[in-house]
A and B are shown apart, each in its own frame.
Chain A
Amino acid sequence: MSSSTTTTTTSPSTNTESWGSRVGLILAMAGNAVGLGNFLRFPVQAVQNGGGAFIIPYLICFLLMGVPLLWIEWSMGRFGGKHGHHSTPFILDTMDRRSFWKYIGVFGIFTNIAVASYYCYLESWTMSYVFHSVAGTFAGMDQGQVASFFEKYVDVGVSTTGIPYEAVIFFLLCLILNTWILSKGLSGGVEKAAKIGMPLLILFGVFLAYKGITLQAGKEGALFGGSVGLNFLWTPQFDSLANPKVWLAAAGQIFFTLSVGMGTIQCYASYVSKKDDIALNAMSAGWMNEFVEVVLGSAILIPISVGYLGIDRVIELTASGGLGLGFRTMPFLFSQWGTFIGAFAGVAFFGLLFFAGITSSLAMGTPWMGFMQDEFKWTREKAALSFGIIVLILGLPTVLFFNEGVFDEYDYWAGTVSLVVFALAETILFAWVFGMTKGWKEINDGADLKVPSFYKFVIKWITPFLLIFVFVGSLIGPAGGDWGAAFAGLGNGEGWNLDNGSIIAQLMNKGIKQQIAATTDSALVESLESRITYINGARLLLLAVFLTAAYLVFVAYKKRIREGRFS
């Protein structure tokens, strides 16, 4: 192992990528952050966690955790880029040469590959729903039929259109599109996609928000006006602010909406040269994501669904998240607006979700490509193709065994837990190991914005604290988010009642075991036991991906030593 005083020489990489323009970079970064969650997750989180009052912890967490993480990741990326690194293993290695950091950096490759594997499938649903909206598939269907359409769609053996294995075909189409765009490079592919996708996304969002807000009771089949849904979403329940669950939900939402803790921001920023601004760029991209989430995201799903279904039904439908409402219900609601407007609204809604998805999945391809180009001198096309093949292999189980829980398992470990772990590690590295003196200089070098000096304190103390809060909340979160009852349980000897979604309970398959214990139906028991097998298989697959990525980092490190690329 080399000592902490060694420096890295610039890598003779085949990687000659660059951004075309500053606006293109910001749109690509904003596109990376804007995802399906902006439209489907945020409004549901708000209605479940204090309505309008949710925005208070949400914005506080944005300023104290989101913004610092953006600055940390942008500056880490640009710092690594100066040394010829475009993926997190060797970016982290450059910041502190103790060897374990580069293996922690493996998260920045692993997470993207694993998330892309199920995210591309999700993205392919939106592509398929655009197709079906244009084809008029949902016209004349009642709500039950639209919901049933989704169930059939994800049941790969059943065809909704006569196309055999339709879900697999759309998944492949989506993957081929992603791979093709990635093979065109940063400015020629990713940036162009963002320059087309982001304005269209905003345009579609504005149209749907307008329809949502101006919905009138008694017109176009609506039971209630758009203001009823907005009232439901925005009425503040200030007493909820005393509940840690609400703060945890807000912190979690900020975390996931900004795509921090993934390694994509570092990768994108590594192509920014050392004298160019990152402070203002990070703010511009971050706030653009907030605009899409808070302004557009709050004005579509809830107002429209409440307008047609009423508050009680929406509460019921959102209990399991916004995904079901989006795919099982929205096409039926749009069809109430008539053939043409209904089809256009379907194209707009699923089209904006598609653009939100693809600008994120493209970002997920770049760390792997950067790593293979830097370390193994692969061409861009070869790196893009390899990403497509890996995502295909790893993604097919999510398509084929969606109903067995493989999709959710990927989402939990790669799309939730890994992000928190990596963000916590990188924040400690940046603020405490690399040090705030050097870190602050990195953030401010070339800055077109005066970064308030109190952020030095925030980055060093507040952000890590909040991340620890999120991590502990994920690790040992109590049942129903009721911390008071959990502590009371500890006090009276009943023990800590873990939530089924907490990391420890998840590892123990607590939720499924409870279901098994609660039923006497032998067929259901068998099905649940088989689900555990699939879930464990998914975990092993993810572990294998992480270990393989770690092995590649090890090989790359040895290769660097052989080639004298450390001095």
Chain B
Amino acid sequence: MNSSALVMMVATQLIVTGFTGYFFYRVLTGKPSTEPDSFSENDDEPRT
């Protein structure tokens, strides 16, 4: 590969992967919201 193509590819992929990983990490490590929230899997009782 020529150097300009390599720089474009590596820089782009690092930026995109970095932001994707960062935001998903923030979601995974975020403080759980207090009940009642939007999600049923963490409910104490099943929703009707």
A100 within 8 A of B: no
Contact residues, B2-32 vs A (CB, 8 A)? 2, 4-6, 8-9, 12-13, 15-17, 19-20, 23-24, 26-28, 30-31
Which B residues are in CB contact (< 8 Å) with A240?
A: none
A103 within 8 A of B: no
Chain A positions 294 through 323: 1 when the CB is less than 8 Å from some CB of chain B, otherwise 0:
110010000000000000000000000000
Segment from A1-9, A21-29, A371-379 that makes contact with B: A21-29
A18-B47, A290-B16 as given contacts; A280 in contact with B37, CB under 8 Å:
no
Which A residues are in CB contact (< 8 Å) with B12?
A: 52, 55, 59, 294
Segment from A167-175, A228-236, A414-422, A429-437 that makes contact with B: A228-236
Contact residues, A501-545 vs B (CB, 8 A)? none
User: Does A52 lie within 8 Å of B33, measured CB to CB?
Assistant: no
Contact residues, A435-468 vs B (CB, 8 A)? 446, 448-449
Contact residues, A1-58 vs B (CB, 8 A)? 16, 18-26, 51-53, 55
User: Does B30 lie within 8 Å of A23, measured CB to CB?
Assistant: no
Interface size of A by CB at 8 A reads: 43
User: Does B26 lie within 8 Å of A230, measured CB to CB?
Assistant: no
Which B residues are in CB contact (< 8 Å) with A295?
A: 13, 16-17
A271 within 8 A of B: yes
User: Does A290 lie within 8 Å of B39, measured CB to CB?
Assistant: no
Contact residues, A277-292 vs B (CB, 8 A)? 277, 280-281, 283-284, 287-288, 290-291
Which B residues are in CB contact (< 8 Å) with A59?
A: 12, 15
Q: How far is the CB of A21 from chain B (nearest CB, A)?
A: 5
Q: Could you tell me the distance between the alpha carbons of A59 and B38 in the complex, rounded to whole angstroms?
A: 31
By size class, the interface of chain B is 20 to 34
Which A residues are in CB contact (< 8 Å) with B17?
A: 291, 295
Which A residues are in CB contact (< 8 Å) with B48?
A: 16
Q: Could you tell me the distance between the alpha carbons of A528 and B36 in the complex, rounded to whole angstroms?
A: 60
Q: Could you tell me the distance between the alpha carbons of A234 and B11 in the complex, rounded to whole angstroms?
A: 11
A275 within 8 A of B: yes
A273 within 8 A of B: yes
User: Does A21 lie within 8 Å of B42, measured CB to CB?
Assistant: yes
Q: How far is the CB of A95 from chain B (nearest CB, A)?
A: 20
Q: How far is the CB of A259 from chain B (nearest CB, A)?
A: 17
A231-B5, A235-B5 as given contacts; A19 in contact with B16, CB under 8 Å:
no
Which positions in A face B, CB cutoff 8 Å?
16, 18-26, 51-53, 55, 59, 187, 227, 230-231, 233-236, 271-273, 275-277, 280-281, 283-284, 287-288, 290-291, 294-295, 298, 446, 448-449
Q: What are 15 A-B pairs with beta-carbon distances under 8 A?
A: A18-B39, A20-B39, A21-B41, A22-B30, A25-B38, A231-B1, A234-B9, A235-B8, A276-B37, A277-B30, A283-B19, A291-B16, A294-B13, A448-B26, A448-B30
Q: Which 8 A-B residue pairings sit nearest by Cβ, starting from the closest? A: A52-B8, A234-B5, A291-B20, A284-B23, A235-B5, A234-B9, A287-B20, A20-B41
Known: A23-B28, A294-B13. 5 other contacts (CB 8 A): A18-B38, A22-B39, A276-B33, A284-B27, A290-B20
